[in-house]
């Protein structure tokens, strides 16, 4: 199955922070760039290990980026290391008592963002002859438990593992039962290596893993895992729009995203772990990013009137413009189901 696009819906309100707090978010991303610049130079491609040499492709928000000549993966000039992770992954301070408004926000995010992701996986596995009630899934890097909850709501047996104690507590509190287990970073590989679950999901996770080679090896070695469902950020228009708008917050490339995938690097990764790409769903937020950069730049230039007109004329076009980008294959995000070969 190759699926494209999804309507924007109310997403613009969920992401309004990016519009309203550009300077604050930009400063945060700049600090993360400084932390990455303090790390050693990256010597080889994160995915295929080809030496990084020759000319950079471009510079964006302080960082140089190199396109791998073999797998087209986009790598930052500096390496993501444990020291970098220590600096940038700060455990959010989740309160212990949640208001009704918190719960409402959680449910809305679950419904709008995560249920469609779960439904896609359920549809793909159905095509492979697996009924939703027979799906047993482990979600790696489960965060606040959204994806596990979404899978459960569709009838699957799903649980998750997560490093952050605060997020596990939050997720379990929101679910009203234990859906996630806290596991220390150095035990995650072991958990993947030994799971008896057939489906492993990693939604927005692989790009953050420092020891990605170890994780991939664990998946390869555990023959119980027949399907890998992943979502990763792609080298796409978003990255180029960001490079051309240096005074705007770079959501996609920069911050904790130190490298971006390509169709080729995903194929390379699948091959390396003995999997094949079975299904994909491309839907980016490239046009939304572009729209945000135009709005922010107009504001910065003292042009609020033009921003008003832009909003009125441009917003209704976002879904159709993004659909064109999605079908071009150069979109910011992909969801993919990989299937073990043989």
Q: Which stretch binds Zn ion (CB under 5 A): 9-17, 61-69, 150-158, 181-189?
A: 61-69
Closest CB 72 distance from Zn ion, rounded Å: 7
**Using rule CB under 5 A, residue 45 touches Zn ion:** yes
**Using rule CB under 5 A, residue 48 touches Zn ion:** yes
Which of 63, 68, 163, 253: binder of Zn ion (CB under 5 A)? 68
Closest CB 47 distance from Zn ion, rounded Å: 5
- Cβ(52)–Cβ(43) under 8 Å? yes
**Torsion on CA atoms 296, 302, 304, 310, rounded to nearest 10:** -60
Closest CB 78 distance from Zn ion, rounded Å: 17
Q: Which residues are within 8 A (CB) of 252 and not within 5 positions of it... i.e. 6 or more apart?
A: 233, 236, 238, 239, 242, 260, 289, 332
Burial of 332 (0-12, 13-18, 19+ CB in 10 A): buried
**Using rule CB under 5 A, residue 67 touches Zn ion:** no
Nearer to Zn ion (CB atom), residue 9 or residue 51: 51
Query: Do the bridges between strand 74-76 and strand 259-260 make them parallel or antiparallel, or are there none, so unpaired?
Result: antiparallel
Closest CB 276 distance from Zn ion, rounded Å: 19
Give the C-alpha separation, 259 to 80, whole Å.
Answer: 9
DSSP letter at 157 equals E
Helices in 38-156 by DSSP H: which ranges? 82-88, 100-109, 115-127, 146-153
Give the C-alpha separation, 266 to 158, whole Å.
Answer: 25
Closest CB 35 distance from Zn ion, rounded Å: 24
Q: Which stretch binds Zn ion (CB under 5 A): 7-15, 47-55, 168-176, 239-247?
A: 47-55
Give me the 227-266 binding string for Zn ion, x by CB under 5 A, dash otherwise: ----------------------------------------
Closest CB 52 distance from Zn ion, rounded Å: 9
Which of 73, 78, 257, 279: binder of Zn ion (CB under 5 A)? 73
Nearer to Zn ion (CB atom), residue 149 or residue 259: 259
Closest CB 69 distance from Zn ion, rounded Å: 8
Q: How many chain residues bind Zn ion (CB under 5 A)?
A: 8
- Cβ(335)–Cβ(117) under 8 Å? yes
296: number of Cβ within 10 Å: 21
DSSP letter at 187 equals G
Nearer to Zn ion (CB atom), residue 45 or residue 179: 45
Which of 33, 71, 125, 230: binder of Zn ion (CB under 5 A)? 71
**Footprint of Zn ion on this chain (CB under 5 A)?**
45, 47-48, 50, 68, 70-71, 73
């Amino acid at each position: 199955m190759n699926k494209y696009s999804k309507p924007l819906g109310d997403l613009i309100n969920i992401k309004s922070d990016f519009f309203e707090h550009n300077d604050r978010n930009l400063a945060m991303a700049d600090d993360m760039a400084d932390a990455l610049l303090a790390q050693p130079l990256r010597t080889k491609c994160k995915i295929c290990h080809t030496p990084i040499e020759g000319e950079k492709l471009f510079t964006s928000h302080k960082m140089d980026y190199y396109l791998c000549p073999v797998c087209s993966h986009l790598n930052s000039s500096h390496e993501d290391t444990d020291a970098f992770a220590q600096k940038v992954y700060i455990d959010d301070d989740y309160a212990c008592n949640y208001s009704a408004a918190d719960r409402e926000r959680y449910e809305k995010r679950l419904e709008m963002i995560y249920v469609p992701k779960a439904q896609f996986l359920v549809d793909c596995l159905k095509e492979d002859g697996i009924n939703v009630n027979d799906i047993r899934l482990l979600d790696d890097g489960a965060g606040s438990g959204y994806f596990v909850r979404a899978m459960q709501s569709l009838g699957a047996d799903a649980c998750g593992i997560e490093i952050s104690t605060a997020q596990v507590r939050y997720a379990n509190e929101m679910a009203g039962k234990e859906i996630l287990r806290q596991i220390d970073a150095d035990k995650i590989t072991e958990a993947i290596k030994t799971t008896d679950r057939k489906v492993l999901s990693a939604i927005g996770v692989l790009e953050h893993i420092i020891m990605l080679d170890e994780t991939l090896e664990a998946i390869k070695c555990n023959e119980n895992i027949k399907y890998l469902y992943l979502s990763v950020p792609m080298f796409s228009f978003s990255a180029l729009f960001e490079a051309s708008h240096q005074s705007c917050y770079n959501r996609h490339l920069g911050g904790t995203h130190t490298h971006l995938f390509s169709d080729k690097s995903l194929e390379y990764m699948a091959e390396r772990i003995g999997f094949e790409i079975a299904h994909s769903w491309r839907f980016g937020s490239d046009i939304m990013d572009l729209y945000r950069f135009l709005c922010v730049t107009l504001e910065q230039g003292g042009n609020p009137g033009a921003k008003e007109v832009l909003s009125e004329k441009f917003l209704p076009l976002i879904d159709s413009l993004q659909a064109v980008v999605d079908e071009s294959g150069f979109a910011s995000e992909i969801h993919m189901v990989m299937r073990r070969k043989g």
